[in-house]
Amino acid sequence: MKYIIKYILRLFFYPFKYIIPKNNTIIISSNSAYNYSGNAKYLFEYLSIKQDLNVVWYTENTTIKKYLNSKKYNYISLKNPVKLIYVLLRTKIVVNDGDAYVNFFDILDNPHTVKVCTFHGCAAKAAIYDVNGIISPTEQKSRLNKFNYINFPSYSSSRKYAEAFEVPKTKVFSAGFPRCDQFFLKDIVEKKYDNKLITKKFFPDANINSKVILYTPTWRPYEYNLPLLDLDFFDEKDFNNWLTKNDYYFFYTIHTTIEPKSLLSNTNRIKYINSKKYPMFDINEFMNETDILLNDYSATTTDYALLNRAQIFCMPDYEKYWNFKGVSFIPIDSKNSSYRDLIPGPEVHTYEELLMNLKNTSDNYIDHINKYQKKSDKILNKFYNIENSNSLENMYQLMRNIITS
């Protein structure tokens, strides 16, 4: 039925797409109309201060609307369909940070509307697979190819991803990731780390000496209900006691396409941050306050490397993940034959190994950083060109060129 409705709407709006001229309007949204985060968020707020552009955010979330109103930012939603349709018909550029060209926008699509994808993350992998029928490999590639421009943080990563997702190289460019510009501003990063405002918001007892662990597992093509900290002999109660004893706070979040098999209990030391419950959730802001990133195969590794802090990799399903059809490793150079060769931190498979590495890292933090410095630098050289440390301005110049061309 939805396809029939979509087809009827396409026919109805078809003549208007060509009659109504485009102006300098840019619509920006995150991969979901119910979140406000990522590259799209940072780009939107930067472009909103530019006098020569009319920038509008698309959302259906009440919390986000209240925030946008408080900042006097422009937005559209289905609550005001007349305004929404009019703005869409006048829009020159549509920007999205995921691999899904926003399904409502393409009803009013025409050759004069330029679609820009800021993308959402880069890692040493390409994952083209189906998760419980959510999205097929063919559909994923098709969605990306609807964009006129797809942004990556570096030239080399853009070429690799273009090959993996079968996107013409003429569509990709490397302006850098808007959400990561802040990580190049060392004074601001240090201030956010010292203040720990986000940590204190969720854990009022935290102080400037408290430490933070951020756990960011990515999705699995074979496991929709992801088991958290799926380590041999993991003991949740004991882990909470360890956090308390060592004055650590533990945040964890998961990929938006999966659901955890069972949640860890929220305690005075452990907190689950769900983007559905917290639509303003911004993982990069959490990274600013994080001492140790507990990761697996997620692209958060490459963002976090910019902060030059400790990482530990929880990968008990390593062989299963990399041998699964549709997941492929993207080598940085000839010396890296596997993901294991690349990661800038120790690999853990059991609960005992996790605690041991957390303690070693905590007790010998600088030594840990120095030990994995070369690997961390190699990741940055591959995925982040230093000239792209001002990606917001790079993206602004692209928008201006599109509008004036």
**Which residue ranges form the domains of the chain, and what is each CATH number?**
2-177+389-404 (3.40.50.11820), 183-383 (3.40.50.12580)
pTM above 0.75, yes or no: yes
313 in Cβ contact with 347 (< 8 Å): yes
CA atoms within 13 A on the CB side of 75: 28
Q: For residue 330, what are the contacts with CB-CB under 8 A and spacing of at least 6?
A: 124, 125, 126, 160, 161, 164
H-type helices in 130-257, by residue range? 137-145, 155-164, 186-195, 197-202, 236-245
Print pLDDT tens along the chain (405 aa). Answer: 556 766 676 677 667 767 777 789 999 998 777 889 999 999 999 999 999 999 999 998 999 999 999 999 999 988 888 888 888 888 899 998 875 555 556 666 667 789 999 887 776 665 544 444 344 556 667 777 888 999 988 777 777 777 777 888 888 888 889 999 999 999 999 999 999 999 999 999 999 899 999 999 887 776 666 667 778 788 888 999 999 999 999 999 887 666 666 667 778 999 988 888 888 999 999 999 999 999 998 889 989 999 999 999 998 888 888 887 556 666 656 665 788 888 999 999 999 999 999 999 999 999 999 999 999 998 888 777 766 688 999 999 999 999 988
Phi, psi of 156 (to 5 degrees): -65, -40
DSSP 169: G
Longest dimension (CA), the chain: 67
Estimate the share of the chain in helix, then strand, then coil, as percent rounded to the nearest 5.
45, 15, 40
Q: How far apart are CA 210 and CA 196, in angstroms?
A: 9
Closest CA to 147 of 116, 186, 126: 116
pLDDT of residue 234: 85
| Residue 151: its H or E element | strand 149-151
Q: How far apart are CA 125 and CA 329, in angstroms?
A: 4
pLDDT of residue 227: 64
pLDDT of residue 6: 60
Both tokens assigned to 372: 């994995």
Q: Which residue has the tokens 């070429």?
A: 159
